[in-house]
Amino acid sequence: MSFKCDHCGAPYDSHISRYQKSFKCKYCGRITKISEDETKKDVKRITVTETVIGPSQAFKITEFASFLYKRGVKTFDPGSGVLKLGSQEVCITEEGTVEGPEPLKVRVEKWINDFMSS
């Protein structure tokens, strides 16, 4: 809803309460009355709901090392985050991101997904 000063025509850009009866123009200083109908016709209520979705648990590299060991992968060093399988090598960070060549990277990301969902 926009209001204009009756005297100079300048727009009033500040918030208008639904209980406010008048406003003062910041340019000419004149007070302009607001009728009750003008304040009520554009009143709309909006409900905003914020849903924060996060992982059910935080990634812990030592627990992930135990998970891999149970799956038969014994070449993971949780201290450095390096995982070797054959001639390929990837690095897993404390946050659970994987850096390295694609074939092994995709496989390790799947393992992390399985670990986080269990």
Paired tokens of 89: 């090598």
Please, are residues 116 and 110 in contact by the beta-carbon 8 Å criterion?
A: no
Q: How many domains does the chain contain in total?
A: 2
pLDDT in tens, 41-97: 555 556 677 766 655 578 899 999 999 999 999 999 999 999 999 999 999 999 899
Asked if the structure places residue 74 within a domain, the reply is: yes
For the chain, how long is the longest CA-to-CA vector? 83
Which domain, by its residues, includes 9? 3-40
72 and 28 inside one domain? no
77 and 29 inside one domain? no
Say what the pTM is.
0.52
